[in-house]
Chains A and B, each alone.
Chain A
């Protein structure tokens, strides 16, 4: 299994600012994903981070709001831009395994509060 770390673990930000969340994996992985989860709610896929190409965004999420970088096979960043209180959530990165995208390992999450 992969060990995944995220930075920061939590942050409180003012509206209109941006925050970049880092995701580091202890091994090379092909598939990396970014999710958002409101406390007590389901996980919503934001995008798939592709190494060497642009991320693939899900419906309702756009690159200008959530730019993603994937410079190599062990690292990715998600930026939440021009934040509003509605962006307050837990952001999680995950990686797929060699067995497939159906089996994912998740980072501990970043709890973001926008005031």
Chain B
């Protein structure tokens, strides 16, 4: 079967660090993408892990452990503009499957 789990909501304080976890079970796995979507906007690509380990892109980092079918997105130095929904999306050969998304609330 296929399953994707990520928290529905996370709340953090401006300037802090937050981690959004994702566990997956797919029929064929190539890697894990992360997307950000602001209210009323289109999803935008953040990061991709094709191999185990950490990928860093500015304030955002993403991690993958294939043996644990687990990944996370780490957001540092949180800013109010980071308030959005974040989706993990495993890649299955020629497509990606979106998780249900995690809504990140940031408090001043």
Contacts and interface: CB of A to CB of B under 8 A. Distances in A.
Contacts of A45: 95-98
A48 B94 CA distance: 9
A104 B95 CA distance: 10
By secondary structure, the B interface counts as loop
B31 A106 contact: no
Question: On chain A, which size bracket covers the interface?
Answer: 20 to 34
Interface string A59-100: 000000000000000000000000000000000101000011
By secondary structure, the A interface counts as strand
25 contacts: A31-B94, A41-B100, A41-B101, A42-B87, A44-B98, A45-B96, A45-B97, A48-B95, A99-B48, A101-B91, A101-B93, A101-B96, A102-B30, A102-B31, A102-B48, A102-B89, A103-B45, A103-B48, A104-B43, A104-B45, A105-B45, A106-B43, A107-B42, A108-B41, A109-B42
